[in-house]
Structure 1
Amino acid sequence: MDKALPAARALEVITPRAQHSISRQQIQPNALKVLYRLHQSGYQAYLVGGGVRDLLLGQQPKDFDITTDATPDQVRQLFNNCRLVGRRFRLAHVLFGRDRVEVATFRAHHTTANEHNAQQNEQGRLLRDNVYGTIEEDAQRRDFTINSLYYNIADFTVHDYTGGLKDLRQGVIRLIGDAESRYREDPVRMLRAVRFAAKLQMPISECTAKPIQNLAPLLLEIPAARLFEESLKLLQSGCGYATYRLLEHYHLFTPLFPSMAPTLNGPYAHQLKQMLQQALQSCDQRLATGKTVNPAFLFAALLWYPLLTQVEQQPVSDGVNRYTLFMQEASKILATQCRSLAIPRRFTIAMREIWQLQQRLPRCQTARAQKLQLHPKFRAAFDLLAFRAAIEGGPLIPLVAWWQEFQQQHPQTHTQQPRARDNDPSAKRPRTRRRRHTPHTDDPQLHRHR
């Protein structure tokens, strides 16, 4: 029978350097600089979290986070290139150009004595959490056992206070402490459990998974901006489709994408599920080959059939053509979606352009097609058209074939080449003399020299 991990564990397991696989050569040089500076200044300094986990699994970490007994203000005193961020969690960011090393202070449990540094709402969600403590307390405050492993720069040992090494060997995602209480503290932990399960291909332990479906509505209380960032981590992790299936299983997908719920129960349900699979698997393939994925295209593809559902449910009134109705419904569905995920405006504008081009791509006369091919979002719109053709078939298949042949016959290479002026330093824009402004007046004396 799977049991919840106790809130505290007295036994500390220390793995010496000779018995683990982590090497300093695998750690980002800037992270090493921060670790050494903290250690040489008399503070404890540990690499912690996903960086230690991934190194032990033989994977290259994306981030290297550091924890220490130095307070954020003390960290800032050590590094001129440091800034303090966060209100709910006070953190220090040490900046090296575009690289950023995150440094957190050991956190302790909440007590009535430090209510001015920690605050929870009536549902148990943490509103402020700046209570500092020891490494043992910090380990118990972390979310999952496999993320509660510490690499000590002082002697290169790995410290485990929660049984994380055992769970890592067994391949299981387990929450530290009582699962329901920890989810109420921060409902985003439910999304993190799913993301780690998909990324690491590990099952979620029974005690950790059991409360998720009932507590999924708690995500509605999380700020939309934070959920947008989490959604990118979920869907653009390289295992987006596996993540989506777990989100669906644990009833976490609808709180993130409420605009999809009516479509999943409507006439386009089958097409939407196929689009989800096709778009997310394509995203995974691109990331696997080192390519990037534009969030605007991904969200435009996922919301296409919900948009189509809304359009077809609206009667066309007098004086309003179908194109105008289409764009009106596009604005409505974006407004609905942005209430749960605060999609930035630069992406919503691009999404509208991609959807708009779906109305223009069927008009494939050669002269108009050449102009359309120059549109900045043409390639994304064509890719969405290709997804639709694979799902719907019918007249979309010859339309996609026509555009493929047209692009081969009319490659727009000149749009990717710099202009001669861009490469010629002597080709400067000529100076233009600013025209002097003369105020309007009826006085003839002021018109003599004009």
Structure 2
Amino acid sequence: MHNDSAPVPTPVSAGLRSIPRDQHSISRRQISQNALRVLYRLHEAGHEAYLVGGAVRDVLVGLTPKDFDVATDATPEQVKALFRNCRLIGRRFRLAHVVFGREIIEVATFRANVDDGSGDREVHDGGRLLRDNVYGTIEDDAVRRDFTANALYYAIADFSVRDYVGGFEDVQNRVMRLIGDPDTRYREDPVRMLRAVRLAAKLDFAIEPGTAEPIPRLAHLLSEAAPARLFEECLKLFLSGHAVASFEGLERHGLLSALFPESAAALASNRSGALRAMVVAGLASTDARVAAGEPVSPAFLFATLLWPAFCRVWMKLQAEGVQPVEAQRRAADRVTLHQVTTVALPRRFSLPMQEIWLLQARFPLRQRKRVTRTLSHPRFRAAFDFLVLRQNASNAHAADVAFWEEAQRDPDNAIALYPGEHEDGDDERAPRRRRRRRRTQSSAG
């Protein structure tokens, strides 16, 4: 590592374009009252103050922003002096958080591209930006942002939108375009490749060809990102209501194999496309739940995304002579162990994910005691929903779905209506070791 300056993005030649209030659609009614308080107080204290980034972009395309970020020429310390409810955070990027109950307004100081020695910047030898606290002007700040659509500034001083990189036009044309040289910007932060796909999916934007071209070549750089950060990015990709479009974007740009290598390999080898159909159906269900305001468990999400990998390893182990029950367990452990080296799936999600998989083996078994035990399992409902999802890959599960739908209403009637496998079979449980024995003699002490 060294502390010299980061690669400077290719200059953008658009220059300043100021879009007056009567030529854009942003109204203060669409901005959080707390964000307005921050903007006005900064302005009244003599500082430049702008709403910036995703909130500006989202309002311009007709969406309701979830977060409101502010950019200013005030340093973090100056911001803290203005707000008693402010805390300073971050090492990589020093930021001020102004806290209003549950809402946090993030305030960032304009950052520069070139380190003149007065600031704090650290760059990895490969070009990855580790720390960036070199302050500059609004022009500097605009050029160092990632995408043109995210580099628009709503000025509280005159309610205009300021555009230094052509972002206003790109938003109107629904285009995601990197600012600067794409190779350089992706090497600075490989997660930008995922952001490009996620934002394009969310906004229904096209990724500009020059921005898209390096992604398959540089996808391997995601291995340099922290697995915990990639887990958070996966939640943003798949739990924001645009999971299907995000998945298709990852496929299209060669990123699926970087995030989920074993699932990508399994999908590529599944000629019928049944596994992919199941994954897409699961993601569509996730999108529907998000749209309806219903919760989605990350455990169920990852059970869906990693099911192709699990199936492939399970089949391989059985082909090697491992008994089906044991093969299931080994496959679940192996897929989880391999995946967490890329995406840090916490145990609170990986363990229920495995239970969802292993419970699938119980569904063909209709012995009365097994049915009762399965219905009482804390993961039954999620596992049953997963069984329903599997019908997208195979119609062979229709009878099991019908049985367990009835069993939830009336187990005895289900057993009478849908006779099935009543003997011990491929249950995912090992044979019980504990057996009651009647002893004729008391044990010796």
Query: What's the TM-score, normalizing by structure 2?
Result: 0.85
Summarize deviations over 1:57-88 as a string: whole Å, max 9, x none.
Answer: 12111211111112222222333332222221
Instruction: Give yes or no for contact 2:357–2:383 (8 Å, CA) kept in 1.
Output: yes
Give the Cα separation in 2 of the matches to 1:285 and 1:210: 32
5+ long unaligned stretches in structure 1: 411-450
Give the Cα separation in 2 of the matches to 1:347 and 1:238: 20
| Paired position in structure 1 for 2:405 | 404
SS at match of 1:314: helix
**1:185 Cα deviation after fit:** 0.9
Give the Cα separation in 1 of the matches to 2:296 and 2:96: 30
| Paired position in structure 1 for 2:378 | 376
Q: 1:75 to 1:369 in 2, by over 3 A?
A: farther
| Paired position in structure 2 for 1:354 | 356
5+ long unaligned stretches in structure 2: 1-8, 412-445
Q: Describe how 1:200-279 pairs up with structure 2 within 5 A.
A: 200-267=203-270, 270-279=273-282
Q: Amino acid of the residue matched to residue 401 of structure 1? A: A
Q: Amino acid of the residue matched to residue 365 of structure 2? A: R
SS at match of 1:376: coil
Give the Cα separation in 2 of the matches to 1:65 and 1:247: 27
| Paired position in structure 2 for 1:96 | 100
| Paired position in structure 2 for 1:177 | 180
Instruction: Give yes or no for contact 2:42–2:49 (8 Å, CA) kept in 1.
Output: yes
**1:321 Cα deviation after fit:** 5.3
Given the alignment of the two structures, is residue 74 of structure 1 paired with residue 78 of structure 2, yes or no?
Answer: yes
Instruction: Give yes or no for contact 1:268–1:309 (8 Å, CA) kept in 2.
Output: no
| Paired position in structure 2 for 1:108 | 112
Q: Amino acid of the residue matched to residue 53 of structure 2? A: G
| Paired position in structure 1 for 2:48 | 44
Instruction: Give yes or no for contact 1:174–1:205 (8 Å, CA) kept in 2.
Output: yes
Given the alignment of the two structures, is residue 302 of structure 1 paired with residue 335 of structure 2, yes or no?
Answer: no
Give the Cα separation in 1 of the matches to 2:183 and 2:11: 13
| Paired position in structure 1 for 2:33 | 29
Give the Cα separation in 2 of the matches to 1:390 and 1:109: 50
**1:316 Cα deviation after fit:** 8.7
Give the Cα separation in 2 of the matches to 1:160 and 1:315: 60
| Paired position in structure 2 for 1:340 | 342
Summarize deviations over 1:119-154 as a string: whole Å, max 9, x none.
Answer: 211211101111111111100011111111001122
State the aligned residue count.
403
Give the Cα separation in 1 of the matches to 2:364 and 2:339: 28
SS at match of 2:365: coil
Tell me which of 102, 125, 129 is aligned to 2:128. 125
Give the Cα separation in 1 of the matches to 2:352 and 2:202: 29
Query: What's the TM-score, normalizing by structure 1?
Result: 0.84
**1:165 Cα deviation after fit:** 1.0
Give the Cα separation in 2 of the matches to 1:71 and 1:154: 19
Instruction: Give yes or no for contact 1:234–1:240 (8 Å, CA) kept in 2.
Output: yes
Give the Cα separation in 2 of the matches to 1:30 and 1:361: 52
SS at match of 2:74: coil
**1:192 Cα deviation after fit:** 1.2
Q: Cα RMSD (Å) of the superposition? A: 2.2
Instruction: Give yes or no for contact 1:275–1:302 (8 Å, CA) kept in 2.
Output: no
| Paired position in structure 2 for 1:58 | 62
**1:110 Cα deviation after fit:** 2.5
Give the Cα separation in 1 of the matches to 2:312 and 2:255: 22
Summarize deviations over 1:96-139 as a string: whole Å, max 9, x none.
Answer: 2222221111100133535x611211211101111111111100
Give the Cα separation in 2 of the matches to 1:195 and 1:233: 8
Return 80-89 or 228-237, whichever deviates more.
Answer: 80-89
Return 369-378 or 39-48, whichever deviates more.
Answer: 369-378
> Equivalent pairs: percent with the same residue?
52
Give the Cα separation in 2 of the matches to 1:225 and 1:269: 34
